[in-house]
Chains A and B, each alone.
Chain A
Amino acid sequence: MLQIKNLHASINGKEILKGLNLTVRPGEIHAIMGPNGAGKSTLASVLTGNPAFEVTHGTVSFNGKDLLELAPEQRANEGIFLSFQYPVEIPGVSMVNFMRTAINEQRKYRQQETISATDFLRLMREKKELVEMDNKLTNRSVNEGFSGGEKKRNEIFQMAMLDPSLSILDETDSGLDIDALRIVANGVNKLKRADNATIVITHYQRLLDYIVPDFVHVLYDGRIVKTGDKNLALELEEKGYDWIKQEVEGK
C-alpha cells in the first residue's frame, strides 16, 4: 500500500528526514516511536503534502501512485488521513458544513454523486456514536473552543467519517485521559479492516495496549533505526531511548 524509499526532507533548509524507509501493507498497524524532535511529525507532514516541507530525495508510492506528485487534497481523497498532533481551529466554519464539504469533495474525486442530506445525517449520527462524541461539539465551529481531548476525539470522528485506507495518528493519545484514550482506541479498532492500514505515532507504550501494532519502529534522527514487534515498545518504555542512541552512534 505504502512504500517509502530513502526519503529525505527538510524545512527552512534544515534536513529532518535523512533517508527513511518504510513499507506498509493492507491490514497492518505500524507504531512509530522515538524521542522528541526525531522527525515523527515531519514524516506525517511530508506524507500528507504539507507545503512547509521540502522533499529533497527519495520516493513514496501509495497504491501504485507517486504520492509526492499529488496535491495535499488529492492525497486525502486517495485515502490518506492524518489525525493532527495539533488540530487547528477554524472559526465560523461549522463541523457539519466542514464534514459535508469534505465528504462531497472525496465523492467528487471518486466520481460519485454528492451525499444526500439524510444519508449524511445518518452517517454523522453513526460515527458520533463510535467515538462517543457530543452533539454540542458537532454543532460548533471546527475545533473552536474544544479542549485538547475533544480535539483529538474530533480527529478520530473525522477519520471515521472519511473512512481512509491509510490513517496516520500523530500523538493522538497525548492529552487524553484514560477513559478518552479507551474510547479513541476503541474507535480506531472498530474501523480496522483487512483493506486498510494505520500508522500510530506515539511517545507512550500506553496506547499500544489498546491498539496492538504488528510492527514497532524507532525513528531516530530522521531514520528508522530499529524495527520489532509490540515487545519493542515495552522495552522502550522500560529502558528509554538512550540505548538506541548508543546503538546507532556506536555503529
Chain B
Amino acid sequence: MAENILHEVTQADYKYGFTTDIETDIIPIGLNEDVVRVISAKKNEPEWMLEYRLKAYRHWTTMKMPEWAHLKIPEINYQSISYYAAPRTNGPKNLDEVDPELLKTFNKLGIPLEEQMALSGIAVDAVMDSVSVKTTFKETLAEKGIIFCSFSEAVEHHPDLIQKYMASVVPITDNFFAALNSAVFSDGSFVYIPKGVRCPMELSTYFRINAINTGQFERTLIVADEDSYVSYLEGCTAPTRDENQLHAAIVEIIVHKNAEVKYSTVQNWYPGDKQGKGGVYNFVTKRGICKGDNSKLSWTQVETGSAITWKYPSCILQGDNSSAEFYSVAVTNHYQQADTGTKMIHLGKNTRSHILSKGISAGFSNNSYRGLVRVSPKADNARNYSQCDSLLLGDKCGAHTFPYMEVNNETAIIEHEATTSKISEDQIFYCNQRGISTEDAVGLIVNGYAKEVLNKLPMEFAVEAQKLLQITLEGSVG
C-alpha cells in the first residue's frame, strides 16, 4: 500500500488550500462582553451557558499569554479577530438541503459524507467555520443510546450532561487559551457512550477554517460511561491564507470505570508558505481523565500542519489500574514551529503510562517535545515509559526535548529514552540507485521512522497521514 500512497503524492503545495464561496454569517472583529453575548444569542443558548462564557471571558482578561514554550510567537491582536463565522444554512435536514458548495468542499477534503459512508462505517460530524453542518449516522448510534452531535445541540438537548462534564477536566481558569475558548467557543462535538456499550463505528469530526480573519474555537467533549468503548477521529485542514489564523480548541475526555477511549488526530492546518508567511496558530488544550478503575485512554496524533503548534494532550490517571498512552508524530518544515508533548499525572495505584514521541524537523523549523510525568504520593507502583526520538533533515532545523519528572512515590518506575538521528545523503543515494527518487526516499524513510505511531491510527487515517508526512517534507532534502 505504501507505494501507492507515494505515487499519488506529486504536489508540493498545500493541497487543501482552496476557499469555498459560501455566504457566511460573520460578526465584526473585536472581543468584549457584548461579543460574547452576541455569540451566545446567535446560538440561542440558555442563561447558564452565557454565564459560563462571561465568567471565562472575565477571567481571560486577567490572564497573559504563556511564554514558557520554545516558540517565537508574533504578537497577536485579539481585537482584530472575528470570533464567529457560520455558513448561512438554516438547519439542513438531509444532504439535499446542504449547500452544494459545502459538499464540494467536503469532497475535496476527501470526507466521505454520503452514502458510501455506511460501508466504511464512519459517522462524521463535519465542522466548518464553527458550526456543525451535518451529522451522519445519528440514528444508527441512537439505537444504542450513543449521543454524537454538535456541541450546540448537546447544550440544547442534553444540558444535564453538558453541565455535569463541561470544564470538569479543563476548567476555565486552566490557561489563557482555554479561558479564551470557554468564552467564545463556537461549536464542536459531543459524544456520550452509555454504560456497557461498544461504539460500533469510528466516530469522526472534520474541522476546517474557511472564512478570512476568523478564529476557530471548537470544543469537544467525550464521555465514556462504565464498561464502554469508543474510537474517535479528528482531522483538520485550513485553506491557504496570507494572514495568520488563530485556532484555540479544547478537548475534554472522561473515561469511567473499565471504559476505553481512543482519540486520534491528524492535524493538517495550513502551515504557512515556504518563507513562513501565513499559517494557522494552533493553541490547543486537550486533556482526559481516567476517572474510574481500569479505565484506558490513548491519544494518537500526527501533527503536520500549522505555523505554530502548542499542544499537550494529557491524561490524569485517577482510577486504580488505569492506563494511558500518548503516541505522537510531529513534523515541521520551512519555518514551522511545534512545541508539543504530553502530561501524565499518576494519582491512582498501579497506573501505567506510555509515551512515544517522534519528531521530524526539516528546513528552518523548530520541533520540541515537552513532557511531564508526575507521580503523586498515593500512586503506588506507577509506571511510565517514555521514548522521544528526533529525526533531522538538513542542518538548519532544530529538535529539542524537555522531559520533566516529578516523582513523589518511591515505588514508581519511570524510564526515559531519547534518540536523535539524521537522514544521510548516503541513504538517499542508496535509494536513488534502486530507482527511487529523493522525494519518495524521504517518504519511505520518514514513514518507516513513524511507523509505530501510524500503526496506531485507524486504517483510513493511517493512509492520509502517510501522504501528509510526505507532502509536508517535499523539497526538504537534496
Contacts and interface: CB of A to CB of B under 8 A. Distances in A.
Contact of B432 (A49, A98, A141, A162): A49
A200 B449 CA distance: 35
A100 B3 contact: yes
Contacts of A81: 433
B2 interface: yes
Given A76-B432, A94-B448, A114-B3, A101 B427 contact: no
B435 interface: yes
Contacts of A19: none
Nearest to A105: B435
Contacts of B243: none
A101 B426 CA distance: 18
Contacts of A108: 7
In this complex, which of B425, B431, B445 has the most chain A Cβ atoms within 10 angstroms of its Cβ? B431
Given A87-B430, A88-B427, A108-B7, A101 B448 contact: no
A92 B445 contact: yes
Contacts of B421: 91
A93 interface: yes
B72 interface: no
A76 to B, nearest CB: 4
A73 B2 contact: no
B108 interface: no
A71 B2 contact: no
B449 A91 contact: yes
B437 A97 contact: no
Contact of A76 (B425, B427, B435): B435
A71 B432 contact: yes
B260 interface: no
A72 B429 contact: yes
Interface in A72-117: 72-73, 76-77, 81-82, 84, 87-88, 90-94, 97-98, 100-102, 104-106, 108-109, 114
A158 interface: yes
A77 B431 CA distance: 12
B29 interface: no
B444 A98 contact: yes
Max chain B CB contacts within 10 Å: which of A72, A94, A104, A109?
A72
A73 B3 CA distance: 16
Interface in A137-173: 141-142, 158, 162
Nearest to A48: B433
A90 B445 contact: yes
Nearest to A52: B425
Contacts of A84: 430, 433
Interface residues of A, number: 35
Contacts, number: 87
Interface in A47-62: 48-52
Contacts of A162: 434-435
Interface string B424-463: 1111011111111110100011011101000000000000
B430 A73 contact: no
A110 to B, nearest CB: 10
B390 to A, nearest CB: 14
A72 B448 contact: no
B445 A101 contact: no
Contacts of B6: 101
B2 A97 contact: yes
Contact of A50 (B429, B431, B438): B429
A141 B448 CA distance: 9
Contacts of A114: 3-4, 7
A101 B433 contact: no
Contact of A73 (B426, B435, B448, B451): B435
Interface in B320-357: none
Contacts of B451: 92
29 contacts: A48-B433, A51-B478, A73-B436, A76-B433, A76-B435, A77-B435, A84-B433, A88-B426, A88-B430, A90-B427, A90-B444, A90-B448, A91-B421, A92-B445, A92-B449, A93-B445, A93-B448, A94-B448, A98-B431, A100-B2, A101-B2, A101-B444, A102-B434, A102-B436, A105-B434, A142-B430, A158-B434, A162-B434, A162-B435
